Structure 1
Amino acid sequence: GWQHRFPETQFMITATRDLTDWTVRDQALRQERVRLLQECEVRELLGGPGRVTGVRVATAGEGPGTVRDLPADLVVDCTGRASRLRQWLAALGVPAVPEEVVDSGLAYATRLYEAPPGAREGFPVVNVFSDYRAPVPGRSASLVPVEGGRWMISLTGTRGGRPPRREDEFDAFARSLRSPLIARLMATARPLTGVQGSSTAANRRFYCERATAWPDGLVVLGDSLVAFNPIYGHG
């Protein structure tokens, strides 16, 4: 059945990744002490096992193969779920950091839609959850209103019930869920993109505090340290 409504005690900001990243970037660059280096990739940490002294970056804007060293008193790794922290530390001679991974095998398939007239502002988030009592792979869906009068619709499923990445199978998967509500809403909206799939939803944590050695001058934040299933909203 439907979950009953509770009094509101919290809120969620719903937006696309592009808008979120742009907003954070805009706020950061308003600080006079912040300087942005564009089109660069961190290749390695500088220093040794006792202290990090900077980073070595490749800068596309200065020609192919161009690298430069950026000295720093403090280096913060916030490069996200795809962080290469383990490799960087190993290259410095730092012992491996304990890691724990919990992977339910969950996969996502997401598509953007233009919301129909009358539903482009003030529309609620809609969720259809799987039935935990059923002895079958979990399958669910969510509709999240985002900027520009659009809906971001995601289908999810665990191993054996993962959502399709083909456009012609996307609607059928939504109709097969325990409630057809999101499928019916999709039928009133216009698709704006193809289907984007992701299967990198494992929960992972690095236990830096348990490391036998840790270099000074290095801090790890965000998904570089703890990466949850994105549906929890902790990304």
Structure 2
Amino acid sequence: MTSSDKTPGLGTAVVIGGGLAGLGAAWALRGHAERIVVVERDHYPAEPAFRAGVPQGRHAHLVLEAGHRVLEEMFPGIKQELMDAGALRVATSEVRWLCSAGWMAEYPARMAFLSCTRPVLDQLVLKRVRADSSIEFLEGTDVVGLLGSAGAVTGVKVRERGPERGEVRDLPAELVVDAAGRSTSVPKWLTELGCRPVPEQRVDAGVAYTSRLFHRPAGVDLGGQAIYLQTKAPEAPRMGVLLPVEGDRWIVSLAGMRGAEPRPGEEGFTEHLAGLRDPLLREVLRDAEPAGEVRGFLPGPGVRRHYERSGPEGLVAVGDAASTFNPVYGQGVTVALFCARELRRTVRRHGGIGHAAARDARRAVAAASKNPWVMSCAEDARFDTTTGAPTGALLKLQHRFLDKVLAGATRDPLVTAAFHEVMSLVEPPSLLFRPSVLSAVLRG
């Protein structure tokens, strides 16, 4: 047993990245590290605003029901703060959802989510985290490398950004949390330390996004509060979503899998809108005035890094740095919150941030992201243009069963409710095999 196992200690924790995943991780470590340093490449805006370090922030975001429960658990009262900031409560039954089998049946909602733009959520979480004196921020600063060896990470190398870059300096730490997102350089830096490559899975559906904000026309009736026009493989690889956000606006995001990517700019947005498998979204937007420019986004492949199998001591990855999903399924923010919750539970159990706590946290983070990853990859595998997707007889059986579930969800409220609970990550996929749900599916 190492000395770190015996005496976890408080010590210093460094969090790479000050986005939502990094802020959640820093908050989770309160009271279990003497010093917590968040290194963020951007300078935070004074008011909610889109920023360069969160390129996906300009697109429609969902915090699923399970994510809201974690958010409220970790930041009590934040739901009310979100609503005070203009977020709108949307019952899941108020989402007009066109799945691959047709329109979802109406059902009595047991769940809801709060809908707002990403900067509103980020700003409220940042405000909470900034208020804790044990958490420091190094804004406008890059992490440029890791300290340590093949066996253990012992800190980071940092350098201020700007035209006159400062010198590289060392920031030692007992724990390093990688929350740098999709573009994390930590795997590359680990190889420079002599570590074995971290095992990873890559699934790439080639998805691309285009989004725009619109002013909500007065008196418009959607037949609900939000719209989700899902893809249907293989003949309809395009999707569209409309969510109400603060300021009497809608955010509309359109996406297409490889081969059906939206072209850039306003012309591409209009063209993609016309190519959706149902005209509802196009008709709703006919009289809506744009409230901003069209913005594109190429998220890249889904990547799941197995740090729980092969990772150096003193390192934990959270959020997109650990598991990156196809954004069309709306899982990313919720899974990032899961990671923060698991990190908090682990350091509490160990009483500190030592190596044993980091090892357990890596396992807990992997377990929390497993079901969302499997669900995301299984759907991506329906498209022939997806690379790295799972294959085989079991996957085909899963697809056939889910097709029956979706067909049932178009006519049976019991199945619709169960499907929403699974997709909201409140319940595991095994809920669909409970006798009451399964019998309703099979009757169909």
TM-score scaled to structure 1, two decimals?
0.88
5+ residue gaps in structure 2?
A: 1-101, 333-444
Deviation at 1:20, TM superposition (A): 2.3
Alpha-carbon distance in 2 for matches of 1:140, 1:38: 37
- The answer as to whether partners of 1:137 and 1:158 remain within 8 angstroms in 2 is no
1:220 is aligned to 2:321: no
1:144 lines up with 2:243 in the alignment: yes
The offset of 1:5, in angstroms, is 2.3
1:71 to 2:71 alignment: no
Moved more, 4-13 or 155-164: 4-13
* 1:166–1:60 Cα change, 3 Å: closer
User: Separation in 2 of the partners of 1:30 and 1:41?
Assistant: 23
Residues 150-159 or 169-178, more deviating: 169-178
Give 2:193's match in structure 1, choosing from 85, 89, 92.
Answer: 92
- Tell whether the 8 Å contact from 2:214 to 2:292 is kept in structure 1 after alignment: yes
1:33 is aligned to: 134
**How far does the alpha carbon of each residue in 1:65-99 deviate from its partner, in whole angstroms, 9 at most, with x for none?**
43222111111111111111211111111110111
Identify which range, 193-202 or 183-192, moves more after superposition.
Answer: 193-202
Higher alpha-carbon deviation: 25-34 or 194-203:
194-203
Matches within 5 A, 1:156-235: 156-211=255-310, 214-235=311-332
Distance 1:71 1:131 in 2: 50
Tell me, in whole angstroms, the C-alpha distance in 2 between the residues paired with 1:52 and 1:41: 17
Q: TM-score, normalised by structure 2?
A: 0.49
* One of 82, 92, 108 as aligned partner of 2:183: 82
* SS of alignment partner, residue 112 of structure 1: strand
Distance in 2, Cα, partners of 1:154 & 1:106: 12
CA contact (8 A) 1:98 1:208 kept: yes
Per-residue deviation, residues 125-166 of structure 1 (Å, max 9, x unmatched): 21122333xx53511211011222221111111122211212
- Whole-Å separation in 2 of the counterparts to 1:234 and 1:177: 22
Partners of 2:330 and 2:208 lie apart in 1 by 16
> What residue is the counterpart of 1:4 in the other structure?
105
Alpha-carbon distance change, 113 to 87 in structure 1, aligned in 2, over 3 angstroms: same
Secondary structure at the aligned position of 2:144 is classed as strand
Q: Could you say which residue in structure 2 is the equivalent of 1:52?
A: 153
**Aligned partner of 2:312: which letter?**
P
Counterparts of 2:232 and 2:313 in 1: how far apart (Å)?
A: 48
1:18 is matched with which residue? Answer: 119
Instruction: State the shift of 1:61 in Å.
Output: 6.5
C-alpha separation in 1, matches of 2:216 and 2:244: 8
Residues 162-210 of structure 1: CA distance to partner in whole angstroms, max 9, x if unpaired?
1121202322321232211111222222112222222225221001122
1:43 has 2:144 as partner: yes
Q: Distance in 1 between matches of 2:184 and 2:305?
A: 11
Task: Tell me how far apart the structure 1 counterparts of residues 305 and 278 of structure 2 sit (CA, whole Å).
Answer: 38
Q: Contact 2:147/2:156 (CA < 8 Å) preserved in 1? A: yes
- Is the strand fraction higher in 1 or 2? 1
Aligned-pair identity in percent equals 39
Gaps spanning 5+ residues in structure 1: where? Answer: none
Distance 1:3 1:50 in 2: 51
What is the rounded CA distance, in whole Å, between the counterparts of 1:15 and 1:60 in structure 2? 31
In structure 1, the residue matched to 2:18 is none
1:170 is paired with a residue whose SS is helix
Counterpart amino acid of 2:237? Answer: G
Q: Distance in 2 between matches of 1:220 and 1:228?
A: 15
Q: Distance in 2 between matches of 1:68 and 1:146?
A: 42
